[in-house]
Amino acid sequence: MPDYRQMWSNLGLDLQSHDALLSTLGSAYRDIFLSQEDRPEGMKYFDFVMTEVHGLRIKELMDAKAQGRIVIGSYCVFVPEELVLAVDGISVGLCAGAEFNFAGAEEVLPRNLCPLIKSAFGFKMGKVCPYIEASDVVVGENTCDGKKKSYEVLSPMVKDLFVMDMPQMKSEAGKQLLKAEYRRFAEKLEAVSGRKITADALRKGIETTNAKRTAIKRLAAIRKADPAPISGLDALLVNQIFFFDDPARFTASVNKLCDELEERVGKGAGVFPKGTARVLISGCPMAVPNWKIPTIVESSSAVIVGEESCIGERGTQWLTDGRGDTVEGLLDRITERYLKIDCAVFTPNASRVDHVREMVKKYDADGVIHYSLQFCQPYIIESGPAERELEKQGIPTLRLETDYSQEDTGQLRTRVEAFVERLRG
């Protein structure tokens, strides 16, 4: 492996903590992913991306920056990658999924805050995230209260925080607000990159982003086969890498994986025996390296066949209509596309349960595990009505609420096993 230490230290990382993080991550990855049986060959590419997630990929970002391209970091799927690509920028996800340096985070944030936010601060304050250090602009979107207020605390810690307001309702006024904010974001991107967003560039950005989504939708569709041709863990990993990798290369690699999986399906081959209980996950995003629940589920005689989540289908299911000759018109299309995302920060948000139900049908799931991160009010509050609605329609549903720690693994395992027993009758 090439030596990236100089690059990391130039980025201001704390090398010692960073080493510790990489080694924990590496062994977790081996235990959870590499130990799986019959993994598709196509996963090798994603394994490589993961081993180089702080290495080669960061080097690529640094090289791109040296050529004048900009890097935009964000914490939400409401930040349009299309716009970032239109100024030839690179978009990276900054959400974090590990209990790292929570003590540091709790010096500036309350303890009873969602672990996703605490983790992001833990990484930032522990100086172990090269992505945030490489970001020219960090976008803070006003979605949940936890993030909105935490961005105020984050602001002095990063080079350039761009706060983007968000509607809470999908009304005409909400749409106008979102469009105005997207326009402001576009202007910000133009200012930082020194490039003008043209209709051509924006169309190209839309095309690249759509291609990536189309590939991931293809992967999703293949998972409806029984036996499942790919584990939920591997599919989640691909969805997580969606936020880091070079879009064109990612798209090609996902398509290649899909070719292989389709062949498997044709032969009736899979990673779990035919008839294994099939579970759909719905709820909060699972950011790298949050593999806790899928690991428990897939070692409890069940397979995950879909993720109704922002790292999953909630974030990728819609394409952006790329027809239009003006930036203004394309901005409208982008706004319309994003406003379809059924995130729990919106009210009302009935389309989310409809989508869960559709997914259950589409992927032939036997039941739904509703996953909430502890202290995430929007999703925890939605989980009650969602569960009742799904059960009413005969879809067995299990609600789980947890954080990034490992102490509750035993209890979670009991619940998941009992749920799987319920699914198999």
Partner 1 sequence: MRVAGIDIGSRTVKLIVVEEGNVVVAKKRINSHDPLVTTRELLRDVPYDRAVATGYGRHLLKRYLNCDVISEIRAFALGAKALIPSCRTILDIGGQDTKAISLNEAGDMIKFEMNDKCAAGTGRFLEVMATALGFSLEDFATAALSAARAEKINSMCTVFAESEVVSLVAQGARRNEVALGIHGSIVGRSIALLNRVGVRGDIVFAGGVALNRCVRQLIESRIGVPVVVPADPQTIGALGSALYGASGLVRGDT
Helix (H, G, I), strand (E, B) or coil at 339: helix
> Could you give the residue ranges of the DSSP H alpha helices within 30-110?
43-51, 56-66, 81-86, 102-108
Subset of residues 348 to 407 that bind partner 1, contact rule: CB under 8 A: 391, 401-402, 407
Among the listed residues 135, 143, 193, 316, the single contact to ligand SF4 using CB under 6 A: 143
Evaluate whether 66 touches 134 at the Cβ level (below 8 Å).
no
> Could you give the residue ranges of the DSSP H alpha helices within 271-393?
292-298, 313-316, 327-339, 350-362, 377-392
Q: Which residue has the tokens 């598709």?
A: 40
Enumerate the β-bridge partners of residue 304: 279
Residues, the chain, total?
425
Identity of the residue numbered 59:
K
Residue 422's binding partner out of ligand SF4, partner 1, none, with CB under 5 to 8 Å set by partner kind? partner 1
Q: How far apart are CA 92 and CA 55, in angstroms?
A: 15
Helix (H, G, I), strand (E, B) or coil at 8: helix
Residue 65 or 415: the one with the smaller Cβ distance to partner 1 is 415
Does position 376 bind ligand SF4 by CB under 6 A?
yes
Residue 76 or 241: the one with the smaller Cβ distance to ligand SF4 is 76
Residue 115 or 396: the one with the smaller Cβ distance to ligand SF4 is 115
Which value, in Å, is the radius of gyration of the alpha carbons in the chain? 21
Per DSSP, 13 falls in state -
Helix (H, G, I), strand (E, B) or coil at 190: helix
Residue 414's binding partner out of partner 1, ligand SF4, none, with CB under 5 to 8 Å set by partner kind? partner 1
Q: How far apart are CA 94 and CA 287, in angstroms?
A: 9
Enumerate the β-bridge partners of residue 398: 369
Residue 11 or 178: the one with the smaller Cβ distance to ligand SF4 is 178
Q: How far apart are CA 414 and CA 419, in angstroms?
A: 9
Binding range to ligand SF4, per CB under 6 A, among 53-61, 75-83, 228-236, 249-257: 75-83
Q: How far is the CB of 95 from ligand SF4 (least distance, A)?
A: 7
Q: How far is the CB of 315 from partner 1 (least distance, A)?
A: 28
Binding range to ligand SF4, per CB under 6 A, among 17-25, 52-60, 372-380, 408-416: 372-380
- Total residues contacting ligand SF4 by CB under 6 A comes to 20
CA–centroid distance for 297 within its chain: 19
Residue 378's binding partner out of partner 1, ligand SF4, none, with CB under 5 to 8 Å set by partner kind? ligand SF4
Evaluate whether 124 touches 12 at the Cβ level (below 8 Å).
no
Binding range to ligand SF4, per CB under 6 A, among 73-81, 210-218, 258-266, 408-416: 73-81
Does position 421 bind partner 1 by CB under 8 A?
yes
Identity of the residue numbered 373:
L
Does position 371 bind ligand SF4 by CB under 6 A?
no
Q: How far apart are CA 368 and CA 425, in angstroms?
A: 15
Structure tokens given for 160: 């350039």
Does position 343 bind ligand SF4 by CB under 6 A?
yes
Does position 420 bind ligand SF4 by CB under 6 A?
no
Does position 146 bind ligand SF4 by CB under 6 A?
yes
Residue 147's binding partner out of partner 1, ligand SF4, none, with CB under 5 to 8 Å set by partner kind? ligand SF4
- Total residues contacting partner 1 by CB under 8 A comes to 17
Specify the DSSP element, H or E, that contains 303: strand 302-308
Q: How far apart are CA 214 and CA 319, in angstroms?
A: 8
Residue 116's binding partner out of partner 1, ligand SF4, none, with CB under 5 to 8 Å set by partner kind? ligand SF4
Q: What are phi and psi of 59, to 5 degrees?
A: -60, -40
Enumerate the β-bridge partners of residue 277: 302
Specify the DSSP element, H or E, that contains 138: strand 137-141
Residue 407's binding partner out of ligand SF4, partner 1, none, with CB under 5 to 8 Å set by partner kind? partner 1
Per-residue binding letters, 282-311, with partner 1 (x by CB under 8 A) = -------------------x----------
Subset of residues 92 to 121 that bind ligand SF4, contact rule: CB under 6 A: 114, 116-117
Q: At what angle do helices 232-241 and 247-267 cross, to 10 degrees?
A: 160
Among the listed residues 32, 129, 139, 345, the single contact to ligand SF4 using CB under 6 A: 345
User: Applying CB under 8 A, which residues contact partner 1?
Assistant: 301, 391, 401-402, 407-408, 410-411, 413-415, 417-418, 421-422, 424-425
User: Applying CB under 6 A, which residues contact ligand SF4?
Assistant: 76-78, 114, 116-117, 143-144, 146-147, 284-285, 310, 341, 343, 345, 373, 376, 378-379
